[in-house]
Amino acid sequence: MAESTTLKYGYYPGCSLEATAKEYNESVQASAKLLDVELVELDDWNCCGASSGHCTDPELSLALPARNLAIAEKLGHDLALSCAACFLRFKQTNHDLRANDELRQRIEQIIETPYQAKIEAKHVLDIFAREVGFEKIEQRVKKPLKGLKLAAYYGCYLVRPPKVTQFDDPENPMIMDNLLTTIGAEPVDWSHKVECCGGGLLLARTDVVVKLCNDLCQAALDNGAVALVTACPLCQANIELRQTIGMPAFYFSELLALALGVSENKFKSWMKRHIQNPVPVLKAQNLI
């Protein structure tokens, strides 16, 4: 029976999920548990190098993710990732190493361990929506998020570059919207789904990040949303820290876990970590 099948993955949380985005990590793990997905955290994983890696050196930008992919390959499972920025670096590494075997061997030398590039890197949103599937999620929903109007925000690295991430339509992705519908919420149709939050300019050019995040929040507000929903710790940090509009933002996994019946105490401990208080929009719909 499909009901009892457990999906199993290696799990790479990424650096942000240990500090700024701890609530993302906890809510992904809680959602996975509620959906019979087993996430086995990689032993001694390292930073993927992020944007600074590929801006600095092409081999470094492949070797840092490849060390983690090799650990996952030894485990014998595909790899689940929560951070959209890490996700792209891992997808890019597999993409480049599969296209060029000489390069793959060179990277194996650098990381001092074999890596065949046979396993897949998958974002947890993709795993929940496509591998667990909407049907199973719908059956498991205990608390439909009725009346909650949300703007699903994908940002850059889930969908771009499309030939590398192979995730969804790069201009109008729907996978997170459909997940939100499945758990009873109301995703709004809006213009800024895949606009950039300012990403790595967070510290170096905060003026730009303030402008881009305010544009995002205003667009969501104009289209009737009461909050944004993200699947990336960097988008979430930029939106929560830099906007001046006061728009709350959720990680998609927090809402998923809430709908699946996670304990209210646990859910509230995540809400306390948000900088833009999301509790009022939930209270307005009697959801907590």
Partner 1 sequence: MTVRLITEQGTESADPAFTREVLGDGAVHLERCYQCQACSSGCPFAYIFDYAPHQLLRMVQLGLKDRVMESKTYWLCASCETCATRCPNDIEIVQVMDRLRHIAFRDGYTNQTPLPLFHRTFLGGVKSYGKVFELMLILRYMLTSRDIFKLSELPNNMKMGFNMFSRGKLAILPDKIKGTANIKRIFQQTERKNG
Residues that bind partner 1 (CB under 8 A): 15-16, 18-20, 22, 44-47, 49-60, 63-64, 67, 109-112, 156-157, 160-162, 170-171, 194-196, 198-201, 203-206, 208, 212, 241, 272-275
**Which residues have C-beta within 8 Å of that of residue 112, sequence separation ≥ 6?**
none
| CB closer to partner 1 out of 33 and 274 | 274
| CB closer to partner 1 out of 126 and 240 | 240
What's the Cα-to-Cα distance from 80 to each of 73, 124, 126, rounded to whole Å? 12, 6, 9
Letter string b/e over residues 152-166, b meaning 16 or more CB atoms within 10 A of that residue's CB: bbbbbbbbbeeeebe
| CB closer to partner 1 out of 60 and 284 | 60
Backbone dihedral region for residue 115 (phi beyond 0: left; psi -120 to 50: alpha; all else: beta) = beta
CB of 161 to partner 1, least distance (A): 5
| CB closer to partner 1 out of 7 and 208 | 208
Place of tokens 């667990």: 132
Provide the residue count of the chain: 288
The C-alpha atoms of residue 20 and residue 23 are separated, in whole angstroms, by: 8
CB of 154 to partner 1, least distance (A): 12
CB of 275 to partner 1, least distance (A): 5
**Which residues have C-beta within 8 Å of that of residue 268, sequence separation ≥ 6?**
288
**Which candidate, 204, 277, 269, 193, places its Cα nearest to that of 235?**
193
Instruction: Read off the tokens for 35.
Output: 């959906």
CB of 226 to partner 1, least distance (A): 21
Q: SS3 of 212, please?
A: helix
| CB closer to partner 1 out of 162 and 224 | 162
CB of 55 to partner 1, least distance (A): 5
| CB closer to partner 1 out of 92 and 253 | 92
CB of 135 to partner 1, least distance (A): 31
